[in-house]
Structure 1
């Protein structure tokens, strides 16, 4: 009976994430300043915003693999926090999607993807890169970090055009696993937990692909949470970038998957 319940919950979580990948909702956040977080990218299909992402080289944007599960991603918007201000100068077409080779779906982890741009991003006063962590460098429990995205500011609300950011604390991994086990879900490997638990701050439905930023570095990629964003809730889950550095470095060097 418990196994059946667990299976149903897993199917619900994966189905829900697939249905809600279009939008990036930040709970209890604030509008990002024009000179801040200039690495942020809106990952889009031809209809508009689907997921968040972030620029890690002139050629590549990092995001979540599940963003492309049901959306035909085609372009990236850089250099604006306001999605009403999108033009040919801010748009870069996606030439190649490099999902992690071990990715199947969010419940099995490896939820990370690199997008190769058809034309290099021009680094300037509106477009910057963000650095990645070093292998083996641990993030401390309760460390204050931030997560950003476009979208609504409450569960079930309407999306917004202006980029939002919120501060979230890092949550002890063992405590995080215990909280998720209580709702009959076993977390995958290579993840970071931050926000959503013992706090009213976090990301919400479909706030996928955006960065978890600690000490001015992107340490995680928004992966999933539960359907309800009425925090406190179970912790929010991010892909741990430090566990994928050799894969990322190889692709950046070869400029292909």
Structure 2
């Protein structure tokens, strides 16, 4: 069964080129109503937001492996305000975790969520493209991260989607700040700035030039007051062909 899941995941990721189309946000702003329509709220059986995610095909959402929990039951799409009932709520059929994932902070923090039915595109729901190949991000390149997470350490998640600009950090500088930093990650925001993600935003996308290039993975001891450590994202381009 595991091999079948891996084959399915490989097939989905390999086809994305042809489809070309919880941490919270710190010092961000409400996302414009008709923007970021690929954003997904991964929720538990009580309807509580747990993690972020993003729609990559009509049947699959990407999130972080550290979000995996037996309480996760469905995904909500198509609404920036989670208290507004005008959205698509779809049951989770299966969750596929990278086989080498052990725990957050050790790498391979990526999860593919198979939905129980196809999403109806349009009316506030769209897919986001993944990078067609390994992407070369430049230092200080400005990207975006969004989510429904808290806006302060140990705060409460927000109902309305928030977004903030973050700058890409040189990998060498990131490794200096994070001894033992795992491979296949991107660093952006958090270091020497007051902008980035917080609890409840895990699993959401780092978006650069319209591509979902990273998955929100971890920050420093879940501290959103921003010590001198970069925010870390799983580099999606490294997982396009290796599942």
Q: RMSD of aligned C-alpha atoms?
A: 1.4
Q: 1:19 aligns to what? A: none
What residue in structure 2 maps to residue 135 of structure 1?
133
In structure 2, the partner of 1:191 is 185
Quick one: distance in 1 between partners of 2:157 and 2:104? 23
1:99-152 CA-partner distances (Å, limit 9, x unpaired): 111111113210001000001001003000100012222111110000000032
Mapped to 2, the partners of 1:111 and 1:189 lie a distance apart of 11
Residue of structure 2 in register with 1:54 after alignment? 54
Gap change, CA 1:24 and 1:231, over 3 Å in 2: closer
Q: Any unmatched runs of 5+ in structure 2?
A: 1-21
Runs of 4+ in 1 over 3 A off after TM superposition: none
CA offset at residue 71 of structure 1?
Answer: 4.6
The 2-side partners of 1:228 and 1:109 are apart by 19
Deviation (angstroms), 1:157: 2.2
State TM-score, norm by structure 1: 0.82
Q: Which moved more, 1:131-140 or 1:111-120?
A: 131-140
Q: 1-side partners of 2:49 and 2:113: how far apart?
A: 15
* 1:214 matches 2:208: yes
Q: Which residue in the other structure is 1:243 paired with?
A: 238
Partners of 1:28 and 1:201 within 8 A in 2: yes
- Segments of structure 1 that go 5 or more residues without pairing to the other structure are 1-22, 249-257
SS in 2 for 1:176: helix
- Matched pairs, number: 220
Q: Which residue of 2 aligns with 1:231?
A: 226
* Cα separation, partners in 2 of 1:165 and 1:71, compared to 1, 3 Å: farther
Paired residues of 1:200 and 1:232 also in contact (CA < 8 A): no
- In the other structure, the counterpart of 1:35 is 34
CA contact (8 A) 2:55 2:61 kept: yes
Q: When you count helix as a share of all residues, which structure comes out higher?
A: 1
Q: Secondary structure at the match of 1:77?
A: strand
8 Å CA contact retained: 2:205, 2:216:
yes
